[in-house]
Amino acid sequence: MIHIREDLLIEKIKEFYKPHPRIVNGFGDDTIILKEIPTQNLVFSVDATIEGRHFYPDILPYEQVGHRALAGALSDLAVVGATPLTFIVNLEIPKRFPENNVLRIYRGFEELGKAFCISPSGGNITASERVGLVLTVIGEIPRDRTISRSHAEPGDKVVVTGDLGRVRTALNIINRHEIKKKIPSDQLDEILEKFYKPWPKINFMKKLLSEVNINASIDISDGLGADLSRIARASQVEIVIYERKLPFKPYLRDVARMIGTPLFQLVVGSGEEYEIAFTLNEEEFEKLKRLGYDVTEIGEVTHSPHVGVRMVKEDGSEVYVDNMGYDHLKG
């Protein structure tokens, strides 16, 4: 259990810091000093992971808590194609929390840290009733690049990276052993992989944005429906998506039947996917296809008095999916 002073714990955490050419003062000060580059703008984002809200220790090992927390924060940088520079950790822990669990959380940062050449460069530790992890990530983008969720235009194509639905599926089956036994092992591994080890689209979006102009983008952290609705509201447009176009692993149809949930709810409502949804005009969409990016066109932005997200189902009926996803205030 933690019976040592805060300063001694910080000394152990300090071992996870790796020197970075852009960080002037290293680890241990109350501030971080970054060298500026005239051609770049700095990008900041903050993300929280709270015990009992975002994870349960009996389901998620502390290494995965650290990994998933950093992946979620970095995904916000991926949206704008930013290059990560460093991150700051605000850690809240119970007074009798085992010291080794703190180190396990920090070890969980290391795989992503090595991949993107970053490490924690400071932060804060405080006592709390439960574990809380708030990460502030810092990156940079070229000064001539401006991307937000408020620039979607009628006529834009709506596109997503990767596949959707595996994370919510994992949450539905993780403690249901009778269902897991029915799923082939390779499929089960693939479902759980995205839950335990999500990977932000940093490199993918940096390359894409160097070749294609997009109008609006967002990462799928709370669910496709909920996150697309944020683009729709910010841009004051309607987004129409098609169930038949949604990207998912084919075996999810069978798993959805096993757990008694409509497939489209698993796909559209699955949060913490950390895929990217974006809009772009017809000309840029054709360029995207010519360049061979592994993305899926799922709908379009339309002229409509309704602001929100409408889904055309496979049977031709329609449903609004604006609220399909995770609400952090409701749980």
Whether 6-142 shares its CATH topology with 157-320 is answered no
Determine the pLDDT at residue 2: 44
Bridge partners (DSSP) listed for residue 84: 139
- pLDDT above 90 covers a percentage of the chain that reads 79
For residue 49, is it left (φ>0), alpha (ψ between -120 and 50) or beta?
Answer: beta
> Is the Cβ–Cβ distance between 76 and 47 less than 8 Å?
yes
Q: Which CATH architecture has domain 6-142?
A: 2-Layer Sandwich (3.30)
Tell me: the pLDDT tens digits for 179-202? 999 999 999 999 999 999 999 999
Q: Are strands 295-302 and 157-161 parallel, antiparallel or unpaired?
A: antiparallel
Whether the pLDDT of residue 290 is over 60: the answer is yes
Determine the pLDDT at residue 1: 45
Return the DSSP state at 221.
S
Whether the pLDDT of residue 148 is over 80: the answer is yes
CA angle at 271 for the pair 91 and 156, rounded to the nearest 5°: 120
Positive or negative: CA dihedral 277, 211, 280, 230:
positive
Distance, CA of 277 to CA of 298 (rounded, Å): 10
Structure tokens given for 95: 């007074």
CATH of region 157-320: 3.90.650.10
CA distance readout (Å), 240 to 156, 237, 282, 317, 322: 11, 10, 16, 13, 11
Distance, CA of 206 to CA of 214 (rounded, Å): 12
- Which helix (H) or strand (E) segment holds residue 174: the answer is none
H-assigned helices in the chain: 6-13, 62-79, 99-107, 110-116, 166-173, 177-180, 185-196, 202-211, 224-235, 252-259, 263-268, 282-291
Tell me: the pLDDT tens digits for 32-82? 899 989 999 999 999 999 998 888 888 899 999 999 999 999 999 999 999
Q: Where are the domains of the chain?
A: 6-142, 157-320
Tell me: the pLDDT tens digits for 244-259? 999 999 999 999 999 9
pTM of the predicted model, to two decimals? 0.92
Structure tokens given for 17: 């810091």
Positive or negative: CA dihedral 257, 262, 263, 265:
negative
